[in-house]
């Protein structure tokens, strides 16, 4: 990435974070040159790029000003509906996921980062050590809530971000998805209403469908996150029993709620005594120096159940996740015993050993740097190969970009055409209970950048042109 692109990304992050108010005057070229030690040409090109992204407006003889952040179109971001809806999305999701698993497919629609990121040999060493030293009594002792040392190591991870978390409120699960499902089961009955995001994680929609629940979709703006006004309205209109939200590096948009909005969210739900199931599986993959504060940090009532895992950061196949379940810890623990009994006991011990001795922080720093570089490379390829009117997000963590095209583009048709050319994408309708976001797709930048991926983006541009023309 060029120097002016890096400079533009730095300024864009400040604007998108809300640290620079809409309408504020940006630093002059002379100030940028002095502050960043760049040439006038570099500063000017960086501002030109910010103009292209729609983040600043140039006023003759006055300089550059922060532009209003673009909103998704009403057609693609439905308002909170008047009625809760029954969810029936699994067939669509399975058809998309099955197509993406064909051999040789470029996995731009994948939900996982590249397995080459993970320290498998070092993990194997920890797992081998744990397997040799595990006590026969652990088959009983390490049943839910889970391996004591692992829960203690997870509690230490919370302490690093300023949260005092009792280890006895942590329940170890088979990945974060089981944690999220157990939380949903703990606070709902069939027929209940659950608030979910729109767009939102399709597995949340499938869980609502499987448990016989009804969904109220709360709009998510790709730049500012969950619409709290729409949530407040939905809480007044509907008997909502739980909310399932992703506050950090949201899937699929990548947006992170500001601390002020997280605090407001927790306070709003506390007023209505509605539990929040917080899906925070991407929080460790932050590009800025610090972990973004989870919503649970603002919880004073035990209503937030914070779910995460090591699947996105360390070992997807090991299937170790957890929930810090607050006042619901005992209920979640009993549900775990009643369903899958326990996560693998040797694997729990192996992960605990790695967290204590294996250099997890070094691994995370390396992975975060790689993902940030890959985000920038994919963004540059989108600018180079896709239509000029393509809109996309630039998340500060995770590994997803959310793209929106002109209304002539049907995301499902684009998905089918791309698969036929050896490329998977995640079409927008799988992220909605009502099949909205027909002109949007999610792309995965979690694989090392290569000529093959660059070519895939170029091919995607060709497929977009064909789709728009109906060829």
Which residue in the block uniquely carries the two structure tokens 């992050």? Answer: 13
Helix (H) or strand (E) segment spanning residue 442: strand 440-444
C-beta of residue 217 within 8 angstroms of C-beta of residue 200: yes
pTM equals 0.82
Q: How confident is the model at residue 414 (pLDDT cuts 50, 70, 90)?
A: very high
Q: In this predicted structure, what is the pLDDT of residue 48?
A: 77
Whether residue 73 has pLDDT greater than 50: no
CATH fold, domain 118-360, is 3.40.640
Residue of higher predicted confidence among 131 and 418: 418
Residue burial 155-192, b: 16+ Cβ < 10 Å; e: rest: bebbeeeebebebebbbbbbbbbbbbbbbbbbbbeeeb
Determine the Cα–Cα distance for residues 249 and 233; give it in Å rounded to an integer.
24
Q: Where are the beta strands (DSSP E) in 169-283?
A: 170-173, 193-198, 214-221, 225-226, 240-245, 276-279
DSSP letter (8 states) at residue 111:
S
Q: In this predicted structure, what is the pLDDT of residue 72?
A: 42
220: burial class by Cβ within 10 Å (0-12, 13-18, 19+)?
buried
The predicted-structure confidence for 258-269, as pLDDT tens digits, reads as follows 999 999 999 999
- Indicate the CATH number of 3-66 among 1.10.10.10, 3.40.50.150, 3.40.640.10, 1.20.59.10: 1.10.10.10
Q: How confident is the model at residue 456 (pLDDT cuts 50, 70, 90)?
A: very high
Which residue in the block uniquely carries the two structure tokens 């959310």? Answer: 402
How many CA atoms within 13 Å lie on the side-chain side of 161? Answer: 18
Average pLDDT over residues 39-54: 79
Determine the Cα–Cα distance for residues 457 and 461; give it in Å rounded to an integer.
6
Which residue in the block uniquely carries the two structure tokens 């797992």? Answer: 127
Q: In this predicted structure, what is the pLDDT of residue 52?
A: 65
Q: Which residues contact 68 (CB under 8 A, 6 or more apart)?
A: 22
SS3 for 13-81 is HHHHCCCCCCCCECCCHHHHHHHHCCCHHHHHHHHHHHHHCCCEEEECCCEEEECCCCCCCCCCCCCCC
Candidate from 133-137, 336-340, 383-387 with smallest mean pLDDT: 133-137
**What is the CATH class of 87-116+362-469?**
alpha beta
Residue ranges covered by each domain of the chain: 3-66, 87-116+362-469, 118-360
Same fold, 87-116+362-469 and 118-360: no
C-beta of residue 458 within 8 angstroms of C-beta of residue 450: no
The predicted-structure confidence for 1-27, as pLDDT tens digits, reads as follows 567 777 887 787 777 666 677 778 889
The predicted-structure confidence for 167-204, as pLDDT tens digits, reads as follows 999 999 999 999 999 999 999 999 999 999 999 999 99
Whether residue 85 has pLDDT greater than 70: no
Q: Using N-to-C axis directions, what is the helix angle for 3-16 and 40-52, rounded to 10°? A: 50
Q: In this predicted structure, what is the pLDDT of residue 352?
A: 95
Whether residue 80 has pLDDT greater than 60: no
Within 10 A of 40 (CB to CB), how many other CB atoms are there? 11
Candidate from 65-74, 238-247, 289-298, 344-353 with smallest mean pLDDT: 65-74
């Amino acid at each position: 990435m060029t120097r002016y692109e890096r400079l533009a990304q730095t300024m864009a992050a400040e604007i998108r974070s809300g640290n620079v108010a809409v309408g504020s005057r940006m630093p002059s070229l002379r100030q940028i040159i002095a502050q960043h030690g760049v040439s006038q040409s570099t500063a000017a090109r960086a501002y030109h790029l910010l103009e292209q992204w729609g983040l600043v407006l140039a006023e003759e003889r006055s300089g550059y000003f922060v532009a209003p952040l673009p909103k998704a179109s009403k057609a693609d971001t439905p308002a909170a509906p008047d009625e809760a809806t029954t969810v029936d999305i699994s067939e669509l999701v399975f058809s998309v996921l099955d197509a993406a698993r064909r051999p040789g497919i470029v996995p731009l629609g994948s939900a996982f980062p590249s397995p080459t990121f993970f320290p498998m040999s070092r993990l194997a060493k920890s797992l081998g050590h744990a397997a040799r030293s595990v006590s026969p009594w652990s088959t009983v002792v390490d049943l839910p809530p889970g391996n004591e040392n692992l829960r203690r190591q997870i509690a230490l991870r919370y302490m690093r971000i300023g949260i005092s978390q009792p280890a006895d409120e942590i329940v170890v699960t088979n990945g974060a998805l089981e944690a999220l499902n157990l939380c949903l089961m703990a606070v709902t009955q069939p027929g209940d209403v659950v608030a979910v995001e729109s767009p939102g994680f399709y597995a949340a929609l499938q869980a609502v469908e499987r448990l016989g629940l009804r969904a109220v979709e709360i709009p998510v703006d790709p730049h500012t996150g969950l619409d709290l006004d729409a949530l407040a309205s939905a809480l007044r209109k509907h008997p909502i029993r739980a909310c399932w939200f992703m506050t950090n590096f949201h899937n699929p948009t990548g947006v992170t709620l500001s601390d002020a909005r997280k605090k407001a969210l927790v306070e709003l739900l506390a007023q209505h005594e509605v539990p929040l199931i917080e899906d925070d599986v991407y929080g460790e993959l932050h590009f800025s120096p610090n972990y973004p504060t989870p919503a649970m940090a603002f919880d004073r009532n035990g209503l937030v159940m914070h779910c995460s895992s090591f699947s996105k950061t360390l070992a997807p196949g090991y299937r170790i996740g957890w929930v810090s379940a607050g006042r619901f810890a005992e209920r979640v623990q009993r549900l775990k015993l009643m369903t899958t009994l326990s996560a693998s006991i040797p694997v729990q011990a192996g992960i605990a050993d790695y967290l204590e001795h294996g250099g997890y922080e070094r691994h995370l720093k390396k992975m975060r740097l790689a993902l940030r570089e890959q985000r920038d490379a994919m963004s540059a390829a989108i600018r180079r190969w896709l239509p000029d009117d393509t809109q996309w997000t630039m998340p500060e963590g995770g590994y997803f970009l959310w793209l929106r095209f002109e209304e002539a583009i049907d995301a499902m048709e684009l998905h089918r055409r791309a698969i036929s050319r050896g490329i998977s994408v995640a079409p927008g309708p799988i992220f909605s209970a009502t099949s909205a976001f027909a002109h949007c797709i999610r792309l995965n930048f979690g694989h090392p950048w290569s000529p093959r991926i660059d070519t895939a983006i170029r091919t995607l541009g060709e497929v977009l042109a064909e789709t728009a023309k109906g060829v």
